[in-house]
Amino acid sequence: MIVVFLSLQVPIIKAQSTSEGITGQLGDKMIHAWLSEKSADLHETFLKKIDSKEDWLEQKPRFKEEYLYMLGLSPMPEKTPLKATVTGSLEGDGYVIDMLHYQSSPGLYVTGNLYRPAAEKSGEKLPTILYVCGHAQRGRDGNKTAYQSHGIWFARHGYICLMVDTIQRGEIKGVHHGTYSHNRWWWHSRGYTPAGVETWNGIRGIDYLISRPDVDPERIGVTGISGGGSVSFWVAGADERVKVASPVSGTADLPGYIPNKIIDEHCDCMFLYNTYQWPWHRIGALIAPRPLLFVNSDRDAIFPMPANERVINRLETVYSLFGAGDHVDSLVSMGGHAYREDIRKASFRFMNIYFKNDPSPVLDSEIDLVTGSRGQEVHPIPPEKLRVFPNDSDLPGYELNSAIDRHFVPMAKLEVPTPGSFIPWKEKLLKELRQVTFRSFPKRIPTAIEKGTSSDKSIVLETESGIAVGLHKIKESTSIERIPLVINSGNIDIEKLSKYGSDTDVVYVCDPRGIGATRWAVKNPPNFVARSHPLVGRTVDDGRIWDIAATARYLMETYEGKLPLHISGVGAGAVLGAYAMLLEPDISGATFESPSKSHMDESCPPLLNVLRVCDVPDVLGALAPRPVTISGWDPIEGEKVVRIYSATHSANQLNLITRK
């Protein structure tokens, strides 16, 4: 039966600002418990069904592809010309420093210092270190200048060392804190993480290094602390040309990041989007059986000891599969989050062991150190002398560093289906969404379970284990012909809905998780709840889509499937409703008022990787041939939806009410 619905205006109120730090104790307890349970479940899947080296090697190609995808590196960006340029050189006691830049992609500049021995022998190929920097703040000089003593040491001991700036703290500024503090939630939808860009910059740095006649491509190592320790993991896992890795204070695990909330202390560059729902240790395990020194400190608040112990224990397990337990080692230094003498000595010696066959103790690690207190550092080399672009006027006129988040991960461009091809077009769309956006969802979202009523007489439903939502019955009818379900995305005035719909409607309002009675605290930064979800392969809003679909099924079963269920939503609620309708085939129709036009819009609900598959107009079109009313768009904005409906010969089921 085809039912045509009239346009219905949903009463709205101004949504409360997320910066107000609302505290809802029920919602906090609920979502924290749910996140902890999910992270614990994933943590326990490590080496599931892997009992031997052969098992690991069989799975590794798949792991590698998943890993690159979760960094935003699949498909891999094109390796365009690096255009490596040396802008100046400086000679010191036993070393030479070249100030250079390269473009890892056109317009994406990587600034760095290349340290090399002063007395290189012609034709000699030297062991080489890619040194990735932590979050030291050195302003216009770039964070590479904070670690200069390490480059000097390597050069004096016969190494090439390329020390590169990160985007956030480099000479040309980009952003690492998109979701931490800038509310760029479309990063989740785009599948963009600065971890991916820093990994790519490191991979291209290795491309540059092996192009040099003085670099031995079989002796390349990577090291760095904090953010640099994390990128050491990223690069070594992604690029097999890295033969030895020594990440310092660069990773924890899911039980640390989420239940212990240490994610709050970390920048977005420390995390990939866990689309494939990995146990976090698998990232480091990709390095096996190449030599790996795992370094941490016993009083490091952001990489605490319980996580350190779990990480090294699991890495040792993987290395043992290869009979290479001697290739992985750990060092625990006494103190907080910092480099100390024992860390420097251990990292330098580890490289010497595998690149020079020299296990002798390092005796000169404390020469030319950066000293002094924070903000009053004393550098062996004045930082401004290490600038790649000495003056502001030398900076490139065109750069993508400051806007790389809008360019790095390609967006899908879904073509409109031709007449007769809609069904395979929609099936392909759904398949891709289920692979990378709704991967944890079952084939069909189960019916919500009634758990009683709340103090305001609303129905309490459990939509998935540990998640409760509210369902308000706001209008009754003696001769029911349909069930409108209004989605509250924080902008619905329930008290004004008593006249909503027709006399033959029984009207309900759904408060999905985090809305109404289950709202949780929101503090920007660090945005704990929203940032934790991608670490378990979810987003807050895919959970809300689950809630809406589960609630719809509950209502349809309550009325024994005899009445059509129609959903309505405004703004973000309209987008959530569209996805719920896409995933739940028994929803009969919808009215959407002013839905967000793209997942790139700040107001649009973020869904993991969705822009790598489709965008809002594609999803609205995929609802064909079910009747849908969309208001608040102009004809150009709604054109693609109209074209998709027309391809199914159901244009009469789409009611597009455009703005005047």
Same domain membership, residue 468 and residue 333:
no
pLDDT of residue 477: 79
Query: For residue 607, what are the CA distances in angstroms to 187, 544, 575?
Result: 9, 11, 11
Q: How far apart are CA 273 and CA 254, in angstroms?
A: 12
Give the end of a domain, one of 350, 373, 406.
406
pLDDT of residue 24: 55
**Given a cut of 70, is residue 67 above it in pLDDT?**
yes
Task: Indicate whether 289 belongs to any domain.
Answer: yes
Each residue of 151-189: b (16+ CB within 10 Å) or e? Answer: bbbbbbbbbbbbbbbbbbbbbbbbbbebbbebbbbbbbb
pLDDT of residue 660: 61
**Given a cut of 80, is residue 378 above it in pLDDT?**
yes
Same domain membership, residue 354 and residue 223:
yes
pLDDT of residue 17: 31
Same domain membership, residue 476 and residue 359:
no
Instruction: Provide long-range contacts, Cβ within 8 A and 24+ apart, for 373-376.
Output: none
Judge contact between 486 and 495, C-beta under 8 A: no
**Which of the 8 DSSP states describes residue 403?**
G
Enumerate helices (H) and strands (E) in the chain, giving the number of each.
16, 18
Nearest Cα to 82, choosing from 65, 67, 101, 66?
101
Same domain membership, residue 257 and residue 168:
yes
By residue range, what is the domain housing residue 510? 417-519+537-658
pLDDT tens-digit profile of 583-612? 999 999 999 999 999 999 999 999 999 999
Same domain membership, residue 495 and residue 356:
no
Give the end of a domain, one of 371, 387, 406.
406
Mean pLDDT of the chain: 93
Same domain membership, residue 427 and residue 388:
no
Give the end of a domain, one of 383, 406, 429.
406
Same domain membership, residue 438 and residue 398:
no
Task: Indicate whether 357 belongs to any domain.
Answer: yes
pLDDT tens-digit profile of 227-285? 999 999 999 999 999 999 999 999 999 999 999 999 999 999 999 999 999 999 999 99
Q: Which amino acid is at 571?
A: G
Same domain membership, residue 342 and residue 245:
yes
Query: For residue 521, what are the CA distances in angstroms to 29, 31, 33, 602?
Result: 10, 10, 14, 20
pLDDT of residue 569: 95
Task: Indicate whether 456 belongs to any domain.
Answer: yes
Q: What percent of the chain has pLDDT over 90?
A: 87
Task: Indicate whether 102 belongs to any domain.
Answer: yes
Q: Tell me which of 504 and 36 has the higher pLDDT.
A: 36
Task: Indicate whether 192 belongs to any domain.
Answer: yes
Instruction: Provide long-range contacts, Cβ within 8 A and 24+ apart, for 143-148.
Output: 143/169, 143/170, 144/111, 144/112, 144/113, 144/170, 144/386, 145/113, 145/379, 145/381, 145/383, 145/386, 146/370, 146/377, 147/224, 147/228, 147/370, 148/113, 148/368, 148/370, 148/379, 148/380, 148/381, 148/386
Same domain membership, residue 252 and residue 155:
yes
Element (DSSP H or E) covering residue 87: strand 85-92
* CATH code of the domain covering residue 368: 3.40.50.1820
Q: Domain count of the chain?
A: 2
**Given a cut of 80, is residue 492 above it in pLDDT?**
no
pLDDT tens-digit profile of 413-458? 999 999 999 999 999 999 999 999 999 999 999 999 999 988 788 8
**Given a cut of 50, is residue 411 above it in pLDDT?**
yes
Same domain membership, residue 296 and residue 374:
yes
Phi-psi region of 87 (alpha: psi -120 to 50; beta: other; left: phi over 0): alpha
**Given a cut of 80, is residue 18 above it in pLDDT?**
no
Task: Indicate whether 58 belongs to any domain.
Answer: no
Stretch 94-110: mean pLDDT:
98
Q: What predicted TM-score, i.e. pTM, was given to this entire model?
A: 0.94
pLDDT of residue 46: 94
Stretch 392-400: mean pLDDT:
96
Task: Indicate whether 307 belongs to any domain.
Answer: yes
**Given a cut of 50, is residue 646 above it in pLDDT?**
yes
Q: Is 615 exposed, middle or buried (0-12, 13-18, 19+ CB in 10 A)?
A: buried
Task: Indicate whether 52 belongs to any domain.
Answer: no
Q: How far apart are CA 228 and CA 207, in angstroms?
A: 19
Antiparallel, parallel or unpaired: β 459-464 and 467-475 = antiparallel
**Given a cut of 70, is residue 5 above it in pLDDT?**
no
Let me know the angle formed at the C-alpha of 242 by 150 and 298, rounded to the nearest 5 degrees. Answer: 55
pLDDT tens-digit profile of 300-348? 999 999 999 999 999 999 999 999 999 999 999 999 999 999 999 999 9
Same domain membership, residue 162 and residue 119:
yes
498 confidence band (pLDDT: 50, 70, 90): low
pLDDT of residue 15: 32
pLDDT of residue 59: 96
Same domain membership, residue 484 and residue 391:
no
Stretch 616-631: mean pLDDT:
97
pLDDT of residue 26: 86
